[in-house]
Amino acid sequence: MVGREVPRTWASMGPAVEISLCALRLPQSRPCLSSALWNPSSGFYECSPAVPRGQCPVQCPGAGVGSSQKMLGTHQTSVFQEKIGWRKDALHLLVFTTDDVPHIALDGKLGGLVQPHDGQCHLNEANEYTVSNQMDYPSLALLGEKLAENNINLIFAVTKSHYMLYKNFTALIPGTTVEILHGDSKNIIQLIINAYNSIRSKVEVSVWDQPEDLNLFFTATCQDGVSYPGQRKCEGLKIGDTASFEVSAEARSCPGRHAEHAFTLRPVGFRDSLEVGVTYSCECGCSARLEADSARCNGNGTYVCGLCECNPGHLGTRCECQEGESQSGYQNLCREAEGKPLCSGRGECSCNQCSCFESEFGKIYGSFCQCDNFSCARNKGVLCSGHGECHCGECKCHAGYIGDNCNCSTDISTCLAKDGQVCSDRGHCVCGQCQCTEPGAFGDMCEKCPTCPDACSTKRDCVECLLLHSGGPAENQTCHNVCKDEVITWVDTIVKDDQEAVLCFYKTAKDCVMMFTYAELPSGKSNLTVLREPECGTAPDATTILLAVVGSILLIGIALLAIWKLLVTIHDRREFAKFQSERSRARYEMASNPLYRKPISTHTVDFTFNKFNKSYNGTVD
C-alpha cells in the first residue's frame, strides 16, 4: 500500500456567466390557453402517443405544468447544450423553479417503465422528448453527474413548503443551491444574484473515477489559514483568496503486480482538473533476496523476508515436518489456552501448527485459527458499514471513518454553517451531524439560538442606533461603525417563520417592542431585516375606561335581572301546570252533611190503656 499526498490550490475566478431560466407557469383557471405564449427560451415538448401533436405541454427545468417532468427537464437541459447555445467555457447557471415535489428514478416503474434512463438527449427535430413511454426518470446521481460534466450550477428556486426537500437534494448534487421563491416570483432576480454570490464564494472538490480499492481523505486549508480535516470545500471566499486541499490516498488491497490506476480531482463549477496517477507497490524490498533450500528451513523450503516458504509435502514454521506425520504429543501447541479446543475448533492441528478450515463467509486465519474477516460489527447488514476492513473481529476503519462499525464519518463539511464555522461555534460535529452544546442552540448547524448572549445582543446595538438615534437611520453617520458588518433591509412586517433567519425582539425604553431578524451571509456579513417602526402601544383614555366600567356594571345588572325574571317565570309556569294537572284528575263521592238535621222529629212513648176491658200496649208519635 502506498499513500500519496496531492496538494492543489485553486484561486477564486470569475468567468462569464450564462443563465438558463425556465419560468413556465400555465394558469390553472385557463388550461386550454395556447402554449405558444408561454414557451420558455429553452424547453422541450413531452408527448405520448395518446396526445395529439400540437397539444403537448412544454417541459423545462421548473415548469409548473406537472412536477413529474421537472427533474427530467433539468437533465435534458444539461445534455443538449448545443441547442441552448451555451458557450463551453462560461459558468452555466440553471434555475429550477417549482412549487411541487419532483419525480426521480424508480417512480416510472409504477407506470411500467423499467428501463433506466441512459443519460442521453432524446429530442427530435420538433423539439419533442421522444422516450417518455420507454425510459424511467433520471436519478439524482445521474443528474449530478451530467451537471458536473457540463459545468452547470443548479439553483433550486422553490416555495417555502418544499424548501427542506430540495435542501436535502443539495447534499446529494454537488454545486447546487436552494432559495425560497415568493408566490408572485418577484424576488427571482435577487434570488439568482444571491445564489450566484453563494456559488462563486465557495470552492468544492469533486472526485471522478475513484478506484474502488482506494480511499481518499481530504484536508482543506481555507482563506483563514486553518486546516479542516475531512473537509473538501471552503466557503466565504473573495476575489484573491486562495484555498488549498491536501489529499491522502490509501490502498485497501493490491489489485496486482505493477497495477496503475488514475482518478481526477475537479473543483465544482470550474473547468480546471487534476489527474492523479496511482501506482500500487505491494511487494516488500526483501522479496528480492531469496534463499532456496535454506538451512534455516531445514533444507525443505525457501527463506524470504524472515519466513520459510515450505516445499510441497513439508509443514512447520521451519519446514521441519512432513504431511501426515503424527505429532499427537504436541497437540497442546495448537491450543490458544489450556482447556480450549484445538485450533479454536476451526482448523486441524498438523505438525504442531494449525491449518485453518475454509469458510464460505470469508477467511479464517491466525496461529490458532482464532481470527477471521467476517465476524465484525455490522451496520444495516453491511460489514463495518462498508467503510472498513474486518481484522480478527475488529473493524479497521478507512480514513475518514471511526466507530466500532465504522459508521461515523469524520467529515465536518456537513457541519459547516454559512459563516464557515463548525456548528456555528455552538457545538461539536459528531458523525457528520452537529450536537449543540450551547444552551438554547438548535438547528442543523446550531445556527439558531434565541437565548444565546451573542445571538441578538450583538445585533441590538446596531438596530437601536439606527432606529432611536436622532437624525434618522438614513442620515445617522454615527451608526456606521456599529453596523459596519451588517446589511440592513427595512420592512413593514417581519416574517416570523423564516427558517434561514433568527428572530430577535426586545423592549425599548418607551415600552415599545422592536423586532428584527438576522441571517449570516456567505461574505461573512449579517443580513438584518428590521421593522421601520417599533410596535408601540398607546395609553388608554380615562373617559373610555370609566364609560366601559359603568356600562359593564349596568349591562351585568340588567342581565342578572333578566335571568332572575326568566327563572321566576319558568317556576310559576311549572307550578300552574302542576295545579291544572291535579285538578283535572280529581274525583268526588256523594255524602250527607254531618251537621244537617231534618225538620221532623219522632219521639216514642210507651203506654197502656184499656178499651172494652182489654189492655193494649203501643206507641204514640
Report pLDDT for 470.
45
Percentage of the chain lying above the pLDDT 90 cut: 6
DSSP β-bridge partners for residue 95 = 21, 155
Span 562-597, pLDDT tens digits:
999 999 999 999 999 988 888 887 776 677 777 878
Q: Do domains 284-325 and 335-372 have the same CATH topology?
A: yes
The pLDDT tens digits of the residues spanning 517-540 come to 888 776 667 788 888 877 776 666
Calculate ∠ Cα 33-35-37, nearest 5°. Answer: 95
pTM over 0.85: no
Does 474 have pLDDT greater than 70? no
Residue 615's pLDDT band, with cuts at 50, 70 and 90, is low
pLDDT at residue number 2:
35
pLDDT, residue 540, reads: 66
Q: What's the pLDDT score for residue 26?
A: 32
Residue 79: predicted pLDDT: 58
DSSP E strand stretches across 359-485: 364-365, 371-372, 378-379, 382-383, 388-391, 394-397, 401-402, 408-409, 427-430, 433-436
Q: Where are the domains of the chain?
A: 1-26+38-278, 284-325, 335-372, 457-536
* Residue 4: per-residue pLDDT: 36
Neighbours of 6 (CB within 10 A): 15
What letter does residue 71 receive in the DSSP assignment?
Answer: H
Name residues whose C-beta falls within 8 Å of residue 570's C-beta, 6 or more positions apart in sequence: none
Checking if the pLDDT of 408 tops 80, the result is yes
Question: What's residue 44's pLDDT?
Answer: 42
What pLDDT does residue 14 have?
38
As given in the structure block, the three cell numbers for residue 600 are: 221532623
Instruction: Give the H or E element holding residue 452.
Output: none
Mean pLDDT of the 549-553 span: 92
Give the mean model confidence (pLDDT) for residues 193-212.
Answer: 85
pLDDT > 80? residue 173: yes
Find how far residue 152's CA is from the centre of its chain.
24
Start-to-end CA distance of the chain, whole Å, equals 161
pLDDT recorded at residue 473: 44
Residue 618 confidence (pLDDT)? 56
pLDDT at 324: 64
State residue 203's pLDDT score: 87
One of 2.60.120.10, 4.10.1240.30, 3.30.2310.20, 3.30.450.40 is the CATH number of 457-536, namely: 4.10.1240.30
Q: Is 55 a residue whose pLDDT tops 60?
A: no
Q: What is the CATH number of domain 284-325?
A: 2.10.25.10
pLDDT at 28 over 60: no
Domain 1-26+38-278, second-level architecture: 3-Layer(aba) Sandwich (3.40)
pLDDT at 74: 62
3-state DSSP call for residue 448? strand
The CATH H-level superfamily of 335-372 is Laminin (2.10.25.10)
Residue 553 is predicted with a pLDDT of: 94
Give 504 or 479, the one with higher predicted confidence: 504
CB neighbours of residue 148 within 10 Å: 19
Confidence (pLDDT) at 538: 65
Q: What is the mean pLDDT of residues 337-353?
A: 82
Under the banding of pLDDT at 50, 70 and 90, the label for residue 477 is low
* Residue (of 444, 396, 453, 403) closest to 422 by Cα position: 444
* 288 vs 213, higher pLDDT: 213
Residue 382 has pLDDT above 80, yes or no: yes
Whether residue 557 has pLDDT greater than 90: yes
Pairwise pLDDT comparison (524 vs 464), residue with the higher score: 464
Distance (Å, whole) CA 167 – CA 614:
150
**How crowded is residue 477: how many other Cβ atoms within 10 Å of its Cβ?**
7
554 vs 238, more confident: 554
Mean pLDDT across the chain, nearest whole number? 76
Quick: pLDDT tens for 121-169.
Answer: 887 777 777 888 889 888 888 888 888 887 888 899 998 888 889 988 8
